[in-house]
Amino acid sequence: MRTRFPARTAALLLALGSCTPDDPQTRDRVAATPVAAPVAAIAPDAWTAFRDRFVATWFALDPAFAVYQGRHEHDGGLPDWSAAGL
């Protein structure tokens, strides 16, 4: 019995939220609302340079994660888990 309550509540809220008044003034006001101008996008080459710098820095700071991601040039930065190293 208790498991049906959240489902019924969700269905009721969904049904009530999808109701809109059929008011011509509201429709006209919504249709006349100006659309915002699109935001200028970051230049692709600037984004690529930022991304590459970020990932390289992250891998340098966390070599175990870098190796897990397949960047084995960071193998030398891994801790020594051998018996002698512990």
The answer on pLDDT for 1 being more than 60 is: no
pLDDT of residue 77: 84
Task: Output the 3-class SS for 63-80.
Answer: HHHHHHCCCHHHHHHCCC
Q: Which position has the higher pLDDT, 45 or 12?
A: 45
The answer on pLDDT for 44 being more than 60 is: yes
- State mean pLDDT over 16-21: 68
> What ranges do the domains of the chain cover?
41-86
- State mean pLDDT over 60-64: 93
The answer on pLDDT for 43 being more than 80 is: no
Task: Output the 3-class SS for 20-39.
Answer: CCCCHHHHHHHHHCCCCCCC
φ, ψ for residue 36, nearest 5 deg: -65, 150
Block residue for tokens 């509540």: 9
64/48 Cα distance (integer angstroms)? 24
Block residue for tokens 């489902």: 7
